[in-house]
Structure 1
Amino acid sequence: MAEAYPWQQALWQQLAGRSQHAHAYLLHGPAGIGKRALAERLMARLLCQRPNGLDACGQCKSCHLLAAGSHPDNFILEPEEADKAIKVDQVRELVGFVVQTAQLAGRKVVLVEPVEAMNLNAANALLKSLEEPSGNTVLLLVSHQPSRLLPTVKSRCVQQACPLPSEAVSLEWLAKALPDCSADEHRELLFLAAGSPLAAVRMHEQGVIAQRALVVEGVKKLLKQQIAPSQLAEGWNAVSLQLLFDWFCQWSQLILRYQLSRDEAGLGQADMRKVVQYLADKTPQAKVLHIQDWLLAQRQKVLGKANLNRVLLLEALLVQWASLPGPG
């Protein structure tokens, strides 16, 4: 059974306690807050033949089939490969499932995650099923970036924002999830994960704290002209492009904020505070705005799974970053 997270309790009572369900829900919010688990928990509840209060019983035939991954009235649509698009042929298979009669004489439940992974043709192919699903069918759509969805997809769903837990709740949960980490490590992981506790756990498993230290050290050497952009780009092969562009976008924003406010409390994490302040003092504002626009445009390509030459993209980034101090 999917894990029940404490910060979802009020939302769970609202969703699971409904006497009638919408034909489609769009569960959206930042990555790493448990939306998939919430959708799976609701899926189990909707398919269960003998619900135990707000939860699935876990004992009926339907619950056993779902746990075994062989429930005939359940369809999960996700990319065939990690970080790839959901293809139109996959959606056509889903549409074929939706028009069938439920085999256990109950509901059919579809889970799609992440919805934004559908390309344009795939999204358009889903519209008819979203608007008029056959029989007693509920579609659960999970999105980490709802702004990337077609308005026609969003308008056909009940849109439900999923809560981001407070820092205190997240740290309490992380203390149990990562008992071998210190409180300072929990805070750093939570910061790097933008407040999403499940993302913080994944970052710990991926060694992101060490990756961040490597990147910060490299940026400092770059600005001191102790390393070439090409050499640095090659040395960051283990760090995801999305993380790199998240960090550089954040640093450019902090530089601009400090130029406008001169508020030292807003210089960000301690590891880059002096660098941010130095670049804010030495870089014309027009150059900061230019690189910020470029970073945001490239980040959108990364998020959109564009076919990018990683090394050339990072070299272009680092050449621009190294040229920030000095005249425009």
Structure 2
Amino acid sequence: MPDLPPWLNATLVDLISQYRANTLPHGLLILGDPGDGGGLMTDALVAKLLCRSDLAHACGDCKACRLHQAGNHPDFIRVQPEGKSLTIRVDAVRAINRKVAETAQQGGNKVIRLENAEKMNSNAANALLKVLEEPSDRTFIVLESRSLGRTLPTVRSRCRLVTLPEPTPEQALAVLHSAAYPLNPHIALGIAQGKPYTALAVTADQLNQWSECERHFLQDLGFSQLSQFIHKAPLEPTLKQLMLWIDTALRQQLSRRGALAPIADDLIELLANQTARSLFNFRDYLVVLLGAINRQSNLNPQLMGEELASRWLDLRGTE
């Protein structure tokens, strides 16, 4: 069995069991985040679908496995977002259709792996529908998505959904410890929203920015100074850090559970004194801003910084 993080083992075992029992559907939609190791699970599943051995996992030694490991398997296509817009275009899906129509060169399965299925535009999705509806024999199409809501319903309805579990905080921390992560693993996980494989890439500069953000939002700064800091700081990480603070305060108010990441005691005390309604309202505002960033909307950074500063000062009751 491949060396997977423990929270993903059961899902992989179940999918391979279905495959060996000839009950695995030809279309899978795997919902999860690469930061939680979802890509590793898909790696292992694809490897087994291509392997020609009878083992319960990819053997790594047969010709098909060696071709796959070398990136040369003729019956495998991996499609990823491309271009400045990071979308999956219709030409890439047409290449899938051509591959599916061919006879498998290695005499085994044909496997298509399409990452970030939510990045398909409508033309690409429509081109994929026929393959999903009428697949050729021994063809498996494995779609990966970070967002079920942004994956087109016509695609979702033609695949079996596989929702990957997320690691517990203890499991996430163990990944960083086993990798000998050299910086503060708790703060790194906070920056990475609890996703261990994202946290492994967190740099010292990002940890310093975390501390700077705490310092500026805790200080009794006026509107002008705070909005200037927000304008200069990286926007999305700042919004996610604010979201983490709000979520931690709400958790402590509603369930008395501990912090999601190391957060200054003064900051927790400040937010704990706010009403749950005001915290939820501020959280809703952050969700709107993060959604606009994900949709790549045209945002005015200066106006956004000013509004964010104003709302934060209003939340903490600063004139």
Same fold (TM over 0.5): yes
1:33 is aligned to 2:30: no
Q: How many pairs were matched up?
A: 316
Consecutive unaligned residues in structure 1, runs of 5 or more: none
Match of 2:178 in 1: 176
**C-alpha offsets along residues 104-134 of structure 1, whole Å, 9 cap, x if unaligned?**
2221111111111223333333222222222
SS in 1 for 2:305: helix
Partner in structure 1 of residue 240 of structure 2? 246
Q: Secondary structure at the match of 2:149?
A: helix
Residues 55-70 of structure 1: pairs in structure 2 closer than 5 A: 55-70=57-72
Structure 1 position 256, deviation (Å): 6.0
Q: Which residue of 2 aligns with 1:314?
A: 305
TM-score, normalization by structure 1: 0.81
Aligned residue among 284, 287, 291 for 1:296: 287
* Runs of 5+ consecutive residues of structure 2 not aligned to the other structure: none
Given candidates 222, 225, 228, the residue that maps to 1:228 is 225
Give the corresponding residue for 1:49.
52
> For 1:318 and 1:119, how far apart are their aligned partners in 2?
35
Alignment of 1:111-190 (within 5 A): 111-181=113-183, 185-190=184-189
**Counterparts of 1:76 and 1:152, CA distance in 2:** 21
Deviation of 1:15 after TM superposition, in Å, equals: 1.6
CA distance in 1: counterparts of 2:178 and 2:251, whole angstroms = 36
Which among 194, 217, 220 is matched to residue 219 of structure 1? Answer: 217
1:17 corresponds to = 17
With over 3 angstroms needed to count, the CA separation of the structure-2 counterparts of 1:298 and 1:124, relative to structure 1, is farther
CA deviation after TM superposition for structure 1 residue 139, in Å: 0.9
- The 3-state SS of whatever aligns with 1:208 is helix
2: distance between equivalents of 1:230 and 1:285? Answer: 25
Tell me the distance in 2 between the aligned counterparts of 1:69 and 1:312: 47
**Alpha-carbon distance, 1:3 to partner:** 5.2
Please give the alpha-carbon distance, in whole angstroms, between the structure 2 residues aligned to 1:143 and 1:245: 23
- Mapped contact 2:190–2:244 kept (Cα < 8 A): no
Provide the rounded CA distance (Å) in 1 between the counterparts of 2:40 and 2:248.
34
Match of 2:91 in 1: 89
CA distance in 2, matches of 1:13, 1:234: 48
* Identity, % of aligned positions: 32
Q: Per-residue deviation at 1:313? A: 3.0
Distance 2:308 2:292 in 1: 14
For 2:249 and 2:281, the matched residues in 1 are separated by 12
Shift of 1:210: 2.2
Structure 1's 310 and 57: CA in aligned 2 closer, same or farther, altered over 3 A?
Answer: farther
Query: How big is the shift at 1:322?
Result: 2.9
CA change 1:279–1:56 in 2 (3 A) is closer
1:6 positional shift = 3.0
- Superposed CA offset, 1:53-86 (max 9, x none): 2222222222222122222111111111487222
Query: For 1:262-294, what per-residue CA distance to the aligned partner results, in whole angstroms no more than 9, with x for missing partners?
Result: x8766765534423543564x687765544333
- Change beyond 3 A, Cα 1:173–1:278: closer
Q: Are the counterparts in 2 of residues 108 and 136 from structure 1 also a CA contact under 8 Å?
A: yes
In angstroms, what is the RMSD of aligned CA positions? 3.2
User: 112-121 or 37-46: which moved more?
Assistant: 112-121
Q: In the alignment, which of 259, 271, 281 is matched to residue 263 of structure 2?
A: 271
Q: Does the 8 A contact of 1:2 with 1:40 survive in 2?
A: no
SS in 2 for 1:76: strand
